[in-house]
Amino acid sequence: MTLKRKDLLTIRELEPEEIFLILETADSMKEIASREIKKVPALRGKTVINLFYEPSTRTRTSFEIAGKWLSADVVNISTSASSVTKGESLLDTGKTLQAMHPDVVVIRHPVPGAPKILADRLQASIINAGDGAHEHPTQALLDLFTIRERLGRLEGLKVAIVGDISHSRVARSNIQAMRKVGIEVRVAGPATLLPRFPEQLGVEATTDVEDAIADADVIMMLRIQRERHGPTMLPSLREYSRLFGLTVERVKKAKEGVLIMHPGPINRGVEIAPEVADGPYSLILDQVTNGVAIRMGLLYLLTGGQRTER
Ligand code: CP
């Protein structure tokens, strides 16, 4: 099977079978991480450009490692050290990069829809690595991969997503991805940070975090996206932490063995207690590990790779 699309811009555009194709391909790729020589020739002769207009640790590094383990030539552009600082537009930067014949451009940008602007005009495959509060599709894919790896299934599970839902591209992509594979999603957070019309997203919303997590198989905590809203959204971080933070006491009231996720970066003691983040049911570092496998699978499929049935 192949992925019959040039770009990955949103989860919304993916069919469930495409999601499973990416998960299965990532599954084959994951084993490469345990080899002594972490290198396969699948993308030899291909060029991947990482174009990040916002800070990133996990996404940028894992795309770079994924490309290198597949033998692609990987170029990282830090926009603070590029001609963007001299006023070059996104489109001119994109056309400039296209003139050097990359095969894939991975872009993170603060403006929703920026990856689509490049996808509509460049021959290279474009991967959305996060566009404003819109989508972060590869994060949702690695989250599904991590849940399935641990629980062996996706359909029929219950996931509670807690925190700053309305400003979170991770929440938006995850809600869509989870619904497409049959996961029931509940969201919780302060009223000011919840979606106005949760029913349009197909989720239940509540301001009662303990109610939201009571029968969840997985709790996904989110960081407060302070860079995307003004100071009036929250009275104080201390109050937020008291009302919505995931503490050991709250986890004890949830289902036995409930799995804890967070896309990172985490703010210890704000949305999640250190003992929970580092506890036995935390999948936070598994998510990071699986980010490389998902991005390897995606780079492979978008550059024409085929997945053969096992
Ligand atoms: N989860 C995530 O996108 O992390 P980074 O911002 O570090 O890439």
pLDDT in tens, 262-299: 999 999 999 999 999 999 999 999 999 999 999 999 99
What is the position in ligand 1's atom list of the atom closest to the CA of 136? 3
- Who has greater pLDDT, 5 or 84? 5
Confidence of residue 80 (pLDDT cuts 50, 70, 90): confident
Which are the contacts of 65, defined by CB distance < 8 A and separation ≥ 6?
292
Q: Ligand 1 centroid vs 269 CA: distance in angstroms? A: 19
Give the SS3 label for residue 112.
coil
> Does residue 310 have a pLDDT over 60?
no
What's the confidence (pLDDT) of residue 308?
Answer: 64
Spatial separation of the C-alpha atoms in residues 300 and 32, rounded to whole Å: 14
Nearest CA to ligand 1 atom 4: 58
For 115, residues 6+ apart whose C-beta sits below 8 A from its C-beta are 7, 9, 107, 109, 126, 127, 128, 131
Pocket of ligand 1 (CB under 6 A): 56-59, 130, 139, 263-265
Identify whether the C-beta of residue 32 lies closer than 8 Å to the C-beta of residue 69: yes
The mean pLDDT value for 58-79 works out to 97
Q: Angle formed by the axes of helices 137-151 and 16-30, to 10°?
A: 70
CA of 60 to the centre of ligand 1 (A): 8
> What is the tens place of the pLDDT at every residue in 106-159?
999 999 999 999 999 999 999 999 999 999 999 999 999 999 999 999 999 999
Query: What's the gap in Å between 112 CA and the centre of ligand 1?
Result: 16
What is residue 305's predicted lDDT score, i.e. its pLDDT? 87
pLDDT band of 31, cuts 50, 70, 90: very high
Whole-number pLDDT of residue 82: 86
Cis peptide bond N-terminal to 265, omega within 30 = yes
How many angstroms separate the alpha carbon of residue 229 from the centre of ligand 1? 18
Q: How confident is the model at residue 232 (pLDDT cuts 50, 70, 90)?
A: low
The reported pLDDT for the residue numbered 276 is 98
Ligand 1 centre to CA of 59 (Å) is: 5
Count of other CB atoms within 10 angstroms of residue 182: 12
| 150-106-293 Cα angle (round to 5) | 25
Q: Which of 50, 52, 54, 56 to mutate to test the pocket of ligand 1 (most atoms within 8 A of CB)?
A: 56
Q: Would you state the pLDDT for residue 230?
A: 64
pTM: 0.96
Q: Mean pLDDT across the stretch 229-252?
A: 86
CB 229: neighbour CB atoms within 10 A? 16
Minimum CA distance residue for ligand 1 atom 6? 56
Antiparallel, parallel or unpaired: β 104-109 and 47-52: parallel
CB contact set of 160 (below 8 Å; sequence gap of 6+)? 185, 186, 187, 188, 212, 213, 216, 218, 219, 220
Is residue 307 packed enough to be buried (19+ CB in 10 Å), middle (13-18) or exposed (0-12)? middle
Q: Does the structure show a pLDDT above 60 at 302?
A: yes
Nearest to 162 by CA among 239, 241, 227, 237: 241
Taking the CA of residue 55 as reference, the ligand 1 atom at the shortest distance is 6
Q: Mind listing the pLDDT tens digit for each residue in 128-140? A: 999 999 999 999 9
